[in-house]
Amino acid sequence: MGKEYESHSTVQKSINDLAIPQLLTALESVHQSHPSFFSTPGPFTVANLGCANGANAVPLLRAVIVKVREYNPHKEIVIMLNDLPGNDFSAALSGVSEALRDVEGVYVHACAKSFYARAFPDGSVDLFLSFAGIHWMDCEHGPSTHDGFVQYLTAFEPSPVAAHPWTEEARTDWLKFVSCRLSELRPHGILAVSTVTLNRRKEDCDAILSENIEQKKAFRGRVAEFLFPHMSPEQELRLTVPIVVRRVEDFVAPLGAVPGAKVFCAEYSEFVLPFPKSLSAEKLARALGEGNRAVYEPFLVSALKREGEKDEAKIKEFMKAFFDDVGKIAADSLAAIPGEARGAKATIVITKC
Q: Is residue 39 classed as helix, strand or coil in its secondary structure? A: coil
Which residue from 273, 270, 269 is spatially nearest to 348, judged by alpha carbons? Answer: 269
Q: Is residue 131 classed as helix, strand or coil in its secondary structure? A: strand
**CA gyration radius, the chain:** 20
Mean pLDDT of 73-88: 93
Element at 269 (helix H, strand E)? strand 261-274
Least confident range of 5-9, 89-93, 127-131, 320-324: 5-9
More confident site: 225 or 255: 255
| DSSP letters for 308-327 | T---HHHHHHHHHHHHHHHH
pLDDT at 55 (0 to 100) = 83
What is the dotted CATH code of the domain comprising 3-199+242-274+338-352? 3.40.50.150
The segment with the largest mean pLDDT, out of 86-90, 95-99, 223-227, 298-302, is: 95-99
pLDDT at 147 (0 to 100) = 38
Q: How far apart are CA 299 and CA 19, in angstroms?
A: 30
Least confident range of 16-25, 180-189, 301-310: 301-310
- The domain limits of the chain are 3-199+242-274+338-352
Strands 261-274 and 340-352: antiparallel
Question: Whole-prediction pTM value?
Answer: 0.74
Q: Is the pLDDT of residue 207 over 80?
A: no
